[in-house]
Amino acid sequence: MATHDHDFQAFRAGQPYRVPDVDEYADLAGALRDAVAGEVRFDEYSQVLYATDGSIYQARPAGVVVPRSVADVRETVRLAGDHGVPVLPRGAGSSLAGQTVGPGCVVLDCSKYMDSVVSVDPDARRATVQPGVVQDDLDDRLADHGLQFAPDPASSNRATVGGGIGNNSTGAHSVRYGITDAYTEELDVVLADGSLIHTREVVLDSEEWDDIVGNDDREADLYRIVRELVETNREEIDARYPDLKRTVSGYNLDRVIYENDAGERVINLSKLFVGAEGTLGVVVEATVSLVSRPETTALALYCFDDLLDAMRAVPVALEFDVSAVELMDDEVFRLARESGEFAAYAEPIPERAAAALLLEFDSELHDDLGAAVAETNRRFRDQGRAFDVVEAYDESAQADIWKLRKAAIPLLMSLEGDAKPYPFIEDATVPPADLAEYVGRFESILDDHDTSAAYFAHAGSGTLHIRPILTLKEGEGIEAMRSIADDVTDLVAEYHGSFSGEHGDGLARTEFNPKMYGPQLWEAFRDLKTAFDPDWLLNPGKVVYREDDPTDMREHLRYGADYQSVEPNAELDFAEEGGYSHLVELCNGCGTCRQTDSDTMCPTYRASRDEAETTRGRANLLRAAISGELDRDELYSERFQREVLDLCVGCKGCLNDCPTGVDLAKLKAETKHQYHQREGASLRERLFANVDRLASLGSRLAPVSNVAPSLPGARTVAAKLLGVAPERDLPEFAGQSFESWFAARGSRVDPGGADHRVALVPDTYTNYVHPEIGKAAVAVLEAANVHVAVPDGLAPSGRAAVSLGFLDLARERAARNVDALAPRVTEGWSVVSVEPSDAVVFQDEYLDLLDGDAVGAVSANSYGVCEFLDTHRLDEAIQFDAPDESLAYHGHCNQKALNRDHHAVGVLRRAGYEVDPLDTGCCGMAGSFGYEAEHYDLSRAIGEILFETVEDSPAETVVAPGASCRTQLGDRQGAERPPHPVEKLAAALGE
C-alpha cells in the first residue's frame, strides 16, 4: 500500500520543509477530474483548508473532492484505492477528536452539494437524507409535522447528519432520547472497492438472510463475518461494553445484532457504520427514525456553591422525568460575562455560583411544567444544597440559556494566552451515580499535573466535558496531555465507563481503545476493519490501527513544541487580542462560521457553501502563512489577496458571532495594509478609498455627472479601466450637498435651551447622494430638542480606507476628526452618524488606529442616529403621529457586531410603527465590494438570501440604515430604494 504521510513538523524543527507535492498526486487528480462531476481540488490552499477540523490536530490531505452525487463518491473511492491513497469522508469538520483530518488522504466533502432531504414520511416517522444535510435544516423541514431528529449536538446549526452518523453523535437530550445509533435505520454505503450496499434490518436465518449470504459477493461476506465476530465474542462483548446511555468508542459490535420490536432476532449493519468514523465505508444516504417534538418545555437552572455538590445532585435529578440534565461551571460563566455576545445570557446567573445544574422538562412527560419545576425546587433548593434557581418558561428565555450552554466549548477556547482547555479526554463517561467521586479523583489527577480544568455538559448521562488547561506549544504540555489521558482512561476503566461518550475516537483516543476493550475485542475490531476495508484505506488510524503503525495522540498536532509564527509590525493595535498572530490562532475550528440559519457570519459562505469562504477557512490560511505552513511570501501574493482576503466583505459579524472573537475584518485590514506597503495598490482601490473626493466632484458637477454613466459605452469603459461591474447602477449625485444645505439653514434649536448637543457627521452617501436622509435626521433630532451642528473641517470617517487596507490614510483621517471633535465631547457634546458603518468606525476602529484619552472619549460618545435617540430615550419627548404602516427592519452588520443594532426597532415601535426585525446577515454590497466586477455575482448571491427574508416578511415596507444595504435592496427587480429608519421617524413627525 502506498502511503503519503508527510512530516509537517519538519519545518518547525528546523529541517527542510516539505509539503505534499501537487505533482505527486497529478495522476490521481487527473483521473478524478475526468470521472467526477463535482469539484476536484488538489492545490495547496485546499490542502490547508482541510488540514484541520474542530480538534487540536492538523494533517495535510492529498486533495479534496466535493461530490455532487453517489456516482462521484463511488468513483472517488475506487480511483483513490487504485492509486493507494486513503479516503476520508467529512461533513462540517466540527469534530473534536480529529476524525476528519488525515495525512495524505483524499477528503470527501459531502456538505456542499449532497445536502438534500430526500423524503419525509411523517406517518412512519422516518426521513431519508443525504449525508451533507445540516441537522437544524432537517429539523426545520420536520417542524410542520411536529417531528424532529432526536440527537442534538451543540453544533447542530452546522453539523451534518452524515457527520453525526460517523461520530454516533448526541447532545443535551440523550437522557431522554439516547444517541444516533438508536435512530439510524437504513443506509446506503460506498465500500472500499467503490461498490454500493444498502443496509437495513435483516431477520437472522430468514429467507432474506439466506438470499443475502447465499451470494458470492462482498455483501454476503460482510454479513457472515459480522455475525461470526459478534457470536464468537458475545461473552467478551457483554463483559467489556459499558452499560451506559452514551458509548461511542470502538465499533458497535454490541448493537449490530439485537431483538427488534416484533421480537425477532435481527442483524442491521447500519448500526455498525454509526460511530465508525468513515473507517468501514462512506455513507451516501441515510434513513433515520424521528421523534415527536414537545409542544412546550421549561428549564430550571440550579446554582451551587460547590462543583461536587452539583455532581451529587445529578442522580437525584434523574429520579424525575427530565429531558436533559446539563452542567456549567463558573469558568464558563466568567468567560460569558466577558464576552460581547454572551454576557446578556449569563446575566441571570448569580456571581457566587461555582456550578449550575440545568434541568429541562417537556410537555410530553409533564402535564403541568410549573408543578414539575416546583417539585424539583423543593428537592434541590429547599431541601438540598442549591442556593438559587433560575426558571425559564418562555421560548426566548430558554433559548438564551441554551445559547450559553452550547457556547461553552468555543468560549473556553477564547482564554487569553497559549494555555487553553484542550479537548482530548473531555467526554469520558461514567455512571451518573459515580460522577461526584469521579470528578474528585479527576481533580486529583489534574493536581498531580499542576493544572486545572473547566467542567460542563451532559451530567445526566455521565458525560462531563472536562478540559484540562495546557499549552501544546511546549513539549512539557504535550507530554502532560498524554500522561493525563493515560491516567484518566485508567480511572474511567475502573468505573467501567467509556473513554468517549460523544466526540468519538479520532486521533485523540484511538490509541486507548485496547485498554478499554481488551486484546480479544481489539483483534475483533482489526478483523472487522480488514473485512470491510482490506487495504485499510478508509480514514486509517481512527477507531483501530495497524500493529506496525500505531496511532499516537501526540502526533499531527496543530501546534507543537517547535511551532513558531511571525508577528508583523502592525499598524493597528492588537494588544487587546494578544497580538496579530494570537488573534489568528483564536480560531479553534469549531465551524460556527458555517451556520446559515441566523446571525451574521459568514455571508460569503452562506452564498457559496465553500470552506474557503468561511472565517475558519481564512483564519486557517492566515495561520499557515504566518507559521511557515505556506511560504511566508504567500501572504503577499496576488492569489492570497484575491482568493482569501478580498472575498471577506468586512461585515465584522465574526467579531460578535464567532465565540472566540476572531475579528477577520480587522485581520484583513491589517494584512491588506501590509500588502499595499509592499506591493502597492490599484487605481480602483485608491479611488474607492478616496470615494468622498469622487462624490464631492460628482455633486459639484451634477446634473452633468449623472448623465455620464448612461452615455453609450460608459459602463464598458468603467468595467475595463476600473473593474466596476457594468450591471450596477452608479449613484446619482445631488446638486446641493447636505453640508451646504445645513450651512445655509443652521440649527433651529438654541444650544442654551437644548437637552443635548450633537455634532452630526455626514457620511459620503448622505452628504452627496441622498441629503434628504441627513435632513430627516436633523428634523427628528430637533424635534427632541437637540441642538445640531455639522462641524467644519471634518475628514471622511475613514471607513472605506480601513476596509480597503489603507490604514495610514485611515489614521490621518481619524486623527483629524478626533482633533476636531474631542473639544466638543469634553464640553458634553455627542457625535452622531447617520450611516451605521461610519458610527462603528468611530466607536471601534478609531481605538485601534489612535492612542490617548481623546480618542477614547470620542469613541465612547459616538452613536448612530437611532442609537442616540434610543440610548437617551429622546424619542419619548416627541409627539409622533406615525402612519398605519408595518416595517421590516434590516439591520446593519457592523452595528450587529457591536450589539448596537437593536435601537432602531425600539424607536420605530415607540413612534407607532409595527416593526418586524429581520434575522438577516450582511446584504452583500459591503461598500465597494458589490461594485467590483469580479465580486458582483457573489454580492448578488448574498443579496438573494436577504431578498428571500424580506419577501417572507408580512411587513409592507423594508427599512435599512446602511447605504450599502439600501443600494442592494434597491437593485431588486421592480424595487425602489428603501428608506432609512430616520426617514420614517421624520415622516411620523407630522407638521
Mean pLDDT, range 719-735, rounded to an integer: 90
The fraction of the chain above a pLDDT of 70, given in percent, is 98
What pLDDT score was predicted for residue 3?
A: 29
Q: Does the pLDDT value for residue 380 go beyond 70?
A: yes
Q: Which of 97-101, 629-633, 889-893 has the lowest mean pLDDT?
A: 629-633
CA distance 697 to 705: 9
Rounded mean pLDDT, 208-216: 96
Q: Which residue has the higher pLDDT, 298 or 991?
A: 298
| Average of per-residue pLDDT across 612-629 | 96
pLDDT higher at 667 or 715:
667
Instruction: Output the CA torsion sign for 40, 45, 47, 53.
Output: negative
Q: What is the pLDDT of residue 6?
A: 28
Residue of 69, 168, 179 whose CA lies nearest to 118: 69
Q: How confident is the model at residue 773 (pLDDT cuts 50, 70, 90)?
A: very high
Instruction: Summarize the confidence of residues 146-171 as an average pLDDT.
Output: 95
Predicted local distance difference test score (pLDDT) of residue 409: 75
CB-CB neighbours of 368 under 10 Å: 12
> What is the pLDDT, as a whole number, of residue 807?
98
pLDDT of 907 reads: 97
Alpha-carbon Rg of the chain, whole angstroms?
A: 30
pLDDT digit string (tens) for 458-492?
Answer: 999 999 899 999 999 999 999 999 999 999 999 99
**Which tens digits make up the pLDDT trace of 563-586?**
999 898 999 999 999 999 999 999
pLDDT digits (tens, 9 = 90+) for 311-322: 999 999 999 999
For residue 16, the cross-strand partners are none
Q: Which DSSP category does 633 fall into?
A: G
Report pLDDT for 22: 60
In 3D space, the residue among 26, 5, 46, 23 whose CA is nearest the CA of residue 630 turns out to be 46
For residue 900, which phi and psi values (nearest 5 degrees)?
-120, 20
pLDDT at 931: 93
Higher pLDDT, 181 or 426: 181
HSE at residue 249, side-chain half, CA atoms within 13 A, is: 30
pLDDT surpassing 80 at residue 686: yes
pLDDT single digits (tens) 262-292: 999 999 999 999 999 999 999 999 999 999 9
Residues facing 429 on adjacent strands: 463, 498
Contacts of 429 (CB under 8 A, 6+ apart): 242, 244, 246, 247, 461, 462, 463, 492, 497, 498, 500, 501, 502
How far apart CA 235 and CA 776 sit, in angstroms, is 81
CA gap 256, 269 in Å, rounded: 6
pLDDT given for residue 481 in this prediction: 97
Q: How confident is the model over 206-218, as a mean pLDDT?
A: 96
Measure the CA–CA gap between 337 and 222, rounded to whole angstroms: 53
Percentage of the chain modeled with pLDDT above 90? 88
Over residues 240-250, the mean pLDDT reads 95
Q: How many residues does the chain have?
A: 991
Instruction: Give the pLDDT of residue 507.
Output: 98
**Residue 338 pLDDT greater than 90, yes or no:** no
pLDDT of residue 991: 64
b/e code 54-64 from CB counts within 10 Å (16+ = b): bbbbbbbbbbb
Tell me the pLDDT of the chain averaged across its residues: 93
CA dihedral 214, 217, 223, 226 (to 10 degrees): 130
Q: What is the pLDDT of residues 842-867, one digit of tens each?
A: 999 999 999 999 999 999 999 999 99
Q: pLDDT at position 599, please?
A: 84
Summarize pLDDT for 736-750 with one digit per residue, the tens. Answer: 999 999 999 999 999
Quote the pLDDT of residue 8: 24
pLDDT, one tens digit per residue, over 521-556 is: 999 999 999 999 999 999 999 999 999 999 999 999
**Residue ranges in 495-602 assigned as alpha helix (H):** 506-509, 513-532, 580-585
pLDDT at 16: 28
Instruction: Please report the pLDDT score of residue 424 as a whole number.
Output: 93
Residue 365 has pLDDT above 50, yes or no: yes
